[in-house]
Amino acid sequence: MLRLNDKMTLSQLNQKWIDDCVTDGNPLARSTFNHHREAIQDLFGVVIDCERNTYRYYISNPSVLADDELTPWLFSTMTVHGVLADSVAVKDRVVLEDVPAGMEYLSLLVSAIKSNHRLLIGYQKFGVEGYEKVVCPYALKLFHQRWYLLARTADDQMRIYALDRMTKAEQTTESFTMPRDFSPKTYFAEYFGVLTMPIPMAHVVIRAYDTTPNYLRTLPLHHSQREIATTADHADFAYDLRPTADFLGQLLSHGARIEVLEPKTVRQQMKQMIADSLERYRKP
Question: What is the chain's mean pLDDT, rounded?
Answer: 85
Asked if residues 205 and 261 have their Cβ atoms less than 8 Å apart, the reply is yes
User: Mind listing the pLDDT tens digit for each residue in 173-183?
Assistant: 999 999 999 99
- HSE on the CB side for 282, CA within 13 Å? 6
Long-range contacts of 121-127 (CB under 8 A, 24+ apart): 121/149, 121/161, 121/166, 121/168, 121/169, 121/170, 122/166, 122/167, 122/168, 122/169, 123/161, 123/165, 123/166, 123/167, 124/165, 124/166, 124/167, 125/165, 126/165
Q: Under CATH, to which class is 103-188 assigned? A: mainly beta
**Res 253 pLDDT > 90:** yes
Name the amino acid, one letter, at 16.
Answer: K
pLDDT digits (tens, 9 = 90+) for 85-138: 555 556 677 676 776 666 788 889 988 998 999 999 999 988 889 999 999 999
CB of 137 within 8 A of CB of 113?
yes
- Collapsing DSSP to helix, strand or coil, 217 comes out as helix
Dist. CA 226–CA 71, nearest whole Å = 25
More confident site: 218 or 73: 218
User: What does the pLDDT average to over 140-165?
Assistant: 92
Q: CB neighbours (10 Å) of residue 263?
A: 15
Domain locations in the chain as residue ranges:
2-93, 103-188, 202-282
Residue 9 pLDDT: 85
Per the DSSP assignment, residues forming a β-bridge with 237 are 206, 227
pLDDT at 54: 85
Rounded Cα–Cα distance for residues 116 and 15 (Å): 44
The per-residue pLDDT for 66 is 61
Tens of pLDDT, residue by residue over 8-30, are 888 887 777 766 655 556 777 88
Confidence tier at 187 by pLDDT (50, 70, 90): very high
For residues 188-200, give the mean pLDDT.
94
Residue 165: which residues within 8 A CB-CB, separation 6 or more? Answer: 102, 123, 124, 125, 126
What is the 8-class DSSP label of residue 221?
A: S
Instruction: Say what percent of the chain tops pLDDT 70.
Output: 80
Do the beta carbons of residue 241 and residue 202 sit within 8 Å?
Answer: yes
Q: 268 versus 13: which is more confidently predicted?
A: 268
Section 223-248 average pLDDT:
97
Contact by Cβ (8 Å): 279, 219? no
